[in-house]
Amino acid sequence: MLIQRPESHAHLQDGHLALSGLQVRGHAMFSHKDLPLDSETLEYAWLLEVTIGDITGRLTAPQVHLVYDTYMYF
């Protein structure tokens, strides 16, 4: 459903969202405990680090709701 706004509120139809940076790092963790010397290592966990930069923008309430729903279902 598209809402037609008066011309005086036309600036509310457009929004923008900017992210200054995104970095994802992963580190695999291995274990040699109780394994024979000739066997391969056992991977048991991953450590993930996500660094997000500055988020700036201008959004209307419906746009914020859409961003939130997208984030929750990701």
Strands 16-19 and 55-58: antiparallel
Domain assignment present for 39: yes
Q: What is the pLDDT of residue 32?
A: 75
The CA distance from 38 to 50, in Å, is: 35
Q: What is the pLDDT of residue 1?
A: 58
Domain assignment present for 2: no
β-strand partners of 45? 29
Domain that holds residue 60: 16-73
Q: What is the pLDDT of residue 2?
A: 66
Q: What is the pLDDT of residue 42?
A: 74
pLDDT tens for each residue of the chain, 74 residues long: 566 778 887 777 788 899 999 999 999 888 777 777 777 777 788 899 999 999 999 888 888 998 899 989 87
The answer to whether 64 touches 53, Cβ cutoff 8 Å, is no
Q: What's the total number of domains in the chain?
A: 1
